[in-house]
């Protein structure tokens, strides 16, 4: 049975266990601060243009997400709760619960990175607010959809952390390139209609990735 | 199977010889002369080697995906073996396509690599193959290795249409079939600049490289099966 209530139950369980330890949130926050600090050291006071800023913004998001999103399944394996979860919920429910959790985590992360960039870089001025918000929202969904199935694969494979970015990058390059382009558009303040193509690509990517993951998740989740 | 073997050897040798040896003349009179294409000249010969290898790369990837899918459905290790073999061959053809493309780009566009959308796509395909084999080497248990790598191949395959069909047409690029090139087939096909005999040789090359792929595939499958049998007999002796 697949109901919204069950998905929410899995999601809330993850939120609760996350709030108990705040492991992912703390790690992500520190990762963002470290990354931006390194970028600032490297720039030595230079003020990069909007293309570079948009690129760096998503590079920060990508690597931070890679350090945090794999937790969703790895933590189940570490705590030995995989079997229990398999018993009480269907694979699809688990998948959507985890996807929701990862999407929310990515959105929180992107919000954090945005605040940091707004403070640190004067040139990071969002002129097209609508374009920016939709880009960030759809980008996070796309990132989370691919990251969730890869996290499930990683959790079952022996090596945990190292492979995650290696496996994710080729799959995430389509949304990454699209959001980078769309973010440049939002910084330069182009009209909303000019960014529609990017949104269509992001939406279709999210749909394709989620549909594929739902169909394949069972093979990964159940040994 | 010997038809595939000799067919691929003969066709690919023929394409190599004919593709390099047939002279380019301004106005071809007979079948053994190619027309000179302005702006491409001798570099046009790359189409007989670059396009078929790129095509075979994608074909090998698809075959690997299909066998991965069949493995997940049946859990028959034979399908997993076929999936890996096809991925290995795909990696080889992918490297060949990248190298022929980069060499051609050097002489036609001025640099080996300039992140044209098509170059980006083939780079991602290389990364996917690399990630696929790193994932396989990371897992010890055979069934787990087969199932997880099959899932990864399929997930990666889902993104392939995006960067083969969507991204190159969204972004401006130099490669035939980029934005502004409405037919998608490239300037050679589009404006009829590719003469009839060139077109025949191109299709012969396509067939030759596909046969080469099939031959190498069966060859490696046989080797893998012999190795499995040896492993099995060694175990039974002990």
CB contact under 8 A, B170 and A220: no
Structure-block tokens of residue A15: 């939120």
Q: Find the mean pLDDT for residues A58-81.
A: 87
User: Given the structure tokens 């079948």, which residue do they identify?
Assistant: B31
Residue of A155, A174, A180, A223 best to disrupt the B interface, most CBs of B under 10 A = A174
pLDDT at A1 (0 to 100): 55
Q: Find the mean pLDDT for residues A183-187.
A: 89
Count Cβ atoms below 10 Å from residue B165 Cβ, excluding itself.
13
Of B127, B138, B144, the CB nearest to A170: B127
- With vertex at residue B237, the alpha carbon angle to CA B232 and CA B238, rounded to the nearest 5 degrees, is 100
pLDDT at A103 (0 to 100): 94
Q: Inform me whether the C-beta atom of residue A203 falls under 8 Å from chain B C-beta atoms.
A: no
CB contact under 8 A, B131 and A213: no
Q: Inform me whether the C-beta atom of residue A208 falls under 8 Å from chain B C-beta atoms.
A: yes
Strands B34-35 and B24-25: parallel
Ordered alpha helix ranges (H), chain B: 2-21, 50-74, 77-108, 117-138, 142-161, 167-170, 187-190, 196-237
Structure-block tokens of residue A215: 């169909």
CB contact under 8 A, B162 and A201: yes
CA distances from A96 to A10, A33, A210, A222, B207 (A): 8, 30, 9, 16, 45
Q: Quickly state the pLDDT bin for B107 (edges 50, 70, 90).
A: confident
Quick one: what percent of chain B has pLDDT higher than 70? 87
Count Cβ atoms below 10 Å from residue B104 Cβ, excluding itself.
19
pLDDT at A43 (0 to 100): 87
pLDDT at A72 (0 to 100): 83
**Whole-angstrom distance, CA of residue A192 vs CA of residue A132:** 10
Higher-confidence residue of B26 and B186: namely: B26
Which run of H or of E encompasses A107?
A: helix A91-120
pLDDT at A28 (0 to 100): 86
Q: Find the mean pLDDT for residues B49-74.
A: 92
- pTM higher than the cut 0.90: no
**Would you say residue B38 has pLDDT above 80?**
no
In chain B, which residue's Cα lies nearest the Cα of A145? Answer: B155
* Nearest of A202, A161, A163 to residue A58 by alpha carbon: A202
**Would you say residue B183 has pLDDT above 70?**
no
pLDDT at B120 (0 to 100): 84
Quick one: what percent of chain B has pLDDT higher than 90? 37
CB contact under 8 A, B144 and A166: no
Q: Which of A10-19, A30-39, A84-93, B192-201 bottoms out in mean pLDDT, i.e. has the lowest? A: B192-201
Q: Find the mean pLDDT for residues B180-206.
A: 64
Q: In whole numbers, what is the pLDDT of chain A averaged over residues? A: 88
**Would you say residue B84 has pLDDT above 50?**
yes
Q: Quickly state the pLDDT bin for B194 (edges 50, 70, 90).
A: low
Q: Following CA atoms A56, A40, A124, A187 in sequence, which dihedral angle do they give, to the nearest 10 degrees?
A: -20
Of B128, B130, B158, the CB nearest to A212: B158
Widest Cα–Cα separation across chain A: 56
CB contact under 8 A, A167 and B150: no
Q: Taking the domains of chain A in order of start, what are their residue ranges? A: 4-221
**Would you say residue B36 has pLDDT above 50?**
yes
* Nearest of B162, B165, B141, B139 to residue B152 by alpha carbon: B139
Q: Quickly state the pLDDT bin for A206 (edges 50, 70, 90).
A: very high
Q: Quickly state the pLDDT bin for B72 (edges 50, 70, 90).
A: very high
pLDDT tens digits, one per residue of A113-144:
999 999 988 888 888 888 899 999 999 999 99
Sequence length of chain A is: 223
**Whole-angstrom distance, CA of residue B82 vs CA of residue B88:** 10
Residues of A with CB below 8 A from B130's CB? 166
Q: Find the mean pLDDT for residues A85-113.
A: 91
pLDDT at B219 (0 to 100): 93
Q: Find the mean pLDDT for residues B198-227.
A: 91
Q: Inform me whether the C-beta atom of residue A200 falls under 8 Å from chain B C-beta atoms.
A: no
pLDDT at B154 (0 to 100): 93
Q: Following CA atoms A192, A193, A199, A200 in sequence, which dihedral angle do they give, to the nearest 10 degrees?
A: 170
pLDDT at B177 (0 to 100): 55
pLDDT at B184 (0 to 100): 43
Q: Which residues contact B9 (CB under 8 A, 6 or more apart)?
A: none
Q: Distance (Å) from the C-alpha of residue B21 to the closest C-alpha of chain A?
A: 39
Q: Quickly state the pLDDT bin for B175 (edges 50, 70, 90).
A: low
**Would you say residue B79 has pLDDT above 90?**
yes
pLDDT at B185 (0 to 100): 45
Count Cβ atoms below 10 Å from residue A83 Cβ, excluding itself.
10
């Amino acid at each position: 049975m697949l109901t919204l209530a069950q998905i929410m139950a899995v999601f809330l369980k993850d939120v609760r266990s996350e709030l108990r330890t705040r492991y992912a949130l703390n790690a992500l926050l520190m990762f963002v601060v470290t990354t931006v600090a390194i970028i600032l050291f490297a720039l030595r006071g230079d003020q990069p243009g909007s293309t570079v800023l948009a690129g760096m913004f998503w590079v920060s998001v990508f690597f931070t997400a890679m350090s945090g999103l794999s937790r969703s399944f790895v933590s189940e394996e570490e705590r030995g709760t995989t079997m229990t979860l398999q018993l009480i919920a269907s694979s699809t429910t688990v998948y959507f619960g985890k996807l929701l959790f990862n999407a929310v985590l990515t959105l929180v992360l992107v919000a954090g990175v945005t605040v940091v960039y707004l403070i640190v870089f004067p040139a990071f001025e969002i002129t097209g607010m609508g374009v920016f918000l939709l880009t960030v929202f759809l980008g996070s969904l796309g990132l989370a959809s691919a990251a969730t199935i890869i996290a499930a694969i990683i959790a079952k494979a022996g090596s945990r952390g190292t492979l995650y970015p290696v496996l994710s990058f080729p799959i995430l390059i389509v949304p990454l390139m699209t959001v980078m382009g769309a973010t440049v558009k939002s910084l330069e303040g182009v009209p909303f209609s000019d960014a529609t193509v990017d949104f269509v690509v992001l939406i279709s990517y999210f749909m394709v990735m989620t549909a594929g993951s739902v169909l394949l998740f069972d093979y990964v989740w159940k040994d | 199977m010997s038809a595939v073997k000799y067919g691929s050897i003969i066709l690919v040798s023929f394409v190599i010889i004919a593709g390099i040896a047939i002279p380019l003349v301004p106005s071809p009179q007979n079948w053994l002369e190619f027309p000179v294409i302005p702006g491409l000249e001798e570099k046009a010969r790359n189409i007989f080697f670059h396009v078929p290898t790129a095509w075979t790369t994608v074909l090998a990837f698809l075959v690997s995906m299909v066998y991965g899918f069949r493995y997940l459905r049946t859990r028959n290790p034979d399908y997993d073996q076929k999936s890996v073999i096809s991925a290995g061959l795909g990696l080889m053809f992918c490297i060949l396509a990248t190298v022929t493309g980069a060499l051609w780009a050097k002489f036609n566009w001025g640099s080996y690599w300039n992140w044209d959308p098509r170059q980006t796509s083939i780079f991602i395909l290389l990364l996917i193959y690399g990630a696929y084999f790193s994932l396989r080497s990371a897992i010890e248990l055979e069934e787990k290795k087969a199932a997880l790598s099959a899932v990864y191949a399929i997930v990666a395959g889902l993104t392939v249409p995006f960067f083969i069909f969507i991204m190159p047409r969204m972004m401006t690029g130099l490669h035939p079939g980029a934005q502004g090139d409405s037919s998608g087939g490239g300037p050679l096909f589009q404006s009829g600049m590719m003469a009839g005999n060139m077109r025949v040789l191109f299709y012969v090359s396509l067939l030759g490289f596909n046969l080469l792929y099939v031959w190498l595939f069966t060859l490696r499958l046989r080797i893998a099966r012999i190795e499995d049998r040896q492993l099995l007999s060694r175990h039974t002796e002990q």
